Amino acid sequence: MKLMRKTEYTPELLAEITQCAKTLMTPSMVSFRLGIDEVQLLDDINTVGHPARRAYYTGLEETDRELRQQQLDLMRAGSPAALADCQQRIERCLNEITV
């Protein structure tokens, strides 16, 4: 039976996880790149409140925010595809709240 060594999430490692997520790397790719046990990283990212989850989601959110801004700019310029995408995003936002 193989024993897993628990990963110590230092501030530097968390910053690297954030940077990887900003480039849209999957958690499996992040674990490979950073030498972290894949199962542990996936479990940690799936654990609400875990520092690895916050680091990963921070990176994704930064890139997602940039993409949303680009879509809004394209919509304002008259792109029908961007308009449809923005409308879908609004619907997803409203589905998460009670209106």
List pLDDT tens digits, range 69-92. 999 999 999 999 999 999 999 999
| Most distant pair of Cα atoms in the chain: their distance | 60
The residue segments making up the domain with residue 61 are 11-95
CB 71 within 8 A of CB 82: yes
pLDDT digits (tens, 9 = 90+) for 23-40: 999 999 999 999 999 999
The model's pTM? 0.82
Backbone angles phi, psi at 59, to 5 degrees: -65, -45
Q: Would 22 be classed as within a structural domain?
A: yes
Asked if 17 and 55 count as a contact pair (C-beta separation under 8 A), the reply is yes
What's the domain count of the chain? 1
Residue 6 within a domain = no
Tokens of 32: 């490979």
Helix (H) or strand (E) holding 85: helix 80-95
Asked if the structure places residue 85 within a domain, the reply is yes
Q: Is residue 35 part of a domain?
A: yes
